[in-house]
Structure formats: structure tokens, C-alpha cells
């Protein structure tokens, strides 16, 4: 009798989870942009990126919709909302380890001497609810101070350096040349150095300082 009740309970939970997930599947949100295929062919049209499926959809002028995985694409992007920078997604090996891995999509959050990319955290478990996933009702354009949906990495010399080890692996190892300027930047902006939001702002400022220095060195003296 107890076994029957247990089976009924398990069946109810599974069906509830499946219904919840199916109800959370979003409709495409089309953005006018471009897509560059693996062979270099550039296509323009309306795009939609599904974070969970890691698939980009291209709606062509005749209404046909094509789906592309990371192995078929070099990059894609579109203009963002007013006041936000353009969105850019690129393909990189999807593993943070040294072993070879299949390609995966990453969104570029910062460009420069230190490039920062983000990828949605992998879902685990049957009962992970769909509304906890950023693909359901919103597509976050910028990192939130309490962002918990994404993993952030500095991509340097082909390696992924996780923001979870930001101070040692990124700040101390690659940004020490501007330590004083960055500390002042943090204090003036009242940034939380332990948040992904604050860490990204620090990298952006480092890139500005490094590029400014490079430009001054390369400027000819009359």
C-alpha cells in the first residue's frame, strides 16, 4: 500500500514538473541582426537565441526559420535597447578545462586586452523549475549585481579564467600593472569587488587603461 502511494506521489511530481517546464517554453523574441557562419558566409535577418538549447534561430525574409548550433556559427549579434551596447555572441570551446571540447556559444561582455564572456549555468535535475531560467521571460542585456544565472570568465590566451577565482587568477595575475588606479576606481564607484557586476566593471576599467597606454605609445611624436 505504501509502495502504491509512493508511486502515485512520484508520478504526480514528475507530471507537475513536466507541465511547468512546457508552460515556461518562451516564444521567439526576434531581433534584427547578423550571423556569420563557420565558412565565413554572413547573413542578415531576424535572430532569436535560446539560452537553454544553445541554438540561434534565423528568420529569413521569405519567412523560413533556420536553426544553427555553435558548430555551424562563428558569431552573431544585434543592436540592443537604447542606452545599451550591441549584443555579441561568439563560439569558443565549451570546456573550461584543458581537454578538447565541442564548441559552445558565449556572450561577450567586455572586449579588449582581457575579454570577458558569459555562459548560462547548466541546469541539473528533473525538478529545476523553468521560471528560474533566463530564457523564460527575459534576456538580460547587462550583468545584474546579484546575477546567479550565468558563469563569467576572462578568456585569455585560449584559457577560461573563472570569476569565482577573480582576485587570484585574474586580478593579481593579469591586472597588477594598474593596481593603484583600479583601487581608486573601485572606491570612487563604490563597487563590490566580490560581485560579478563589480568585477566586470573592474575589467572594463583595466581595458580602458591598457588601451589608453597602448595608444599613447603608438602615437608618433612630432
pLDDT of residue 162: 93
Where does the chain show beta strands of DSSP type E?
Answer: 31-37, 42-50, 55-59, 65-68, 73-78, 87-93, 103-110, 115-120, 150-156, 159-162
pLDDT of residue 93: 87
Measured distance CA(163)–CA(2) in Å, rounded: 48
- Pairing assessment for the beta strands 42-50 and 55-59 based on DSSP bridges: antiparallel
pLDDT of residue 94: 72
Q: Where are the domains of the chain?
A: 31-165
Q: 116 with 203: CB under 8 angstroms?
A: yes
pLDDT of residue 137: 43
Reading the chain (222 residues) residue by residue, the pLDDT tens digits are 555 554 444 454 444 444 444 444 567 889 999 999 999 999 999 999 998 889 999 998 888 999 999 999 999 999 877 777 889 999 998 765 544 568 999 999 999 999 999 998 876 555 444 444 554 444 666 655 456 788 899 999 888 999 999 999 999 999 999 999 999 999 999 999 988 889 999 999 999 999 998 877 665 555
Q: 94 with 103: CB under 8 angstroms?
A: yes
pLDDT of residue 190: 94
Give me the residue label for grid cell 571540447.
Answer: 101
Name the DSSP class of 130.
G
Amino acid at each position: 500500500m505504501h509502495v502504491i502511494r509512493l508511486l502515485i506521489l512520484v508520478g504526480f511530481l514528475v507530471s507537475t514538473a513536466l507541465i511547468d517546464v512546457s508552460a515556461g517554453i518562451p516564444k521567439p523574441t526576434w531581433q534584427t541582426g547578423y550571423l556569420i557562419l563557420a565558412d565565413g558566409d554572413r547573413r542578415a535577418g531576424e535572430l532569436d537565441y535560446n539560452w537553454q538549447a544553445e541554438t540561434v534561430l534565423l528568420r529569413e525574409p521569405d519567412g523560413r526559420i533556420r536553426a544553427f548550433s555553435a558548430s555551424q556559427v562563428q558569431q552573431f549579434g544585434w543592436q540592443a535597447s537604447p542606452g545599451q551596447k550591441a549584443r555579441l555572441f561568439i563560439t569558443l570551446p565549451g570546456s573550461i578545462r584543458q581537454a578538447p571540447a565541442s564548441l559552445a556559444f558565449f556572450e561577450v561582455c567586455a572586449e579588449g586586452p582581457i575579454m570577458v564572456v558569459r555562459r548560462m549555468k547548466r541546469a541539473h535535475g528533473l525538478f529545476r523549475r523553468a521560471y528560474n531560467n533566463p530564457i523564460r521571460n527575459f534576456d538580460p542585456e547587462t550583468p545584474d549585481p546579484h546575477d546567479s544565472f550565468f558563469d563569467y570568465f576572462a578568456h585569455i590566451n585560449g584559457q577560461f579564467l573563472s570569476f569565482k577565482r577573480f582576485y587570484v587568477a585574474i586580478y593579481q595575475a593579469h591586472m597588477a600593472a594598474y593596481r593603484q588606479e583600479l583601487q581608486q576606481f573601485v572606491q570612487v564607484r563604490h563597487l563590490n569587488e566580490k560581485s560579478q557586476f563589480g568585477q566586470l566593471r573592474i575589467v572594463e576599467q583595466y581595458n580602458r587603461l591598457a588601451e589608453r597606454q597602448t595608444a599613447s605609445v603608438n602615437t608618433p611624436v612630432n
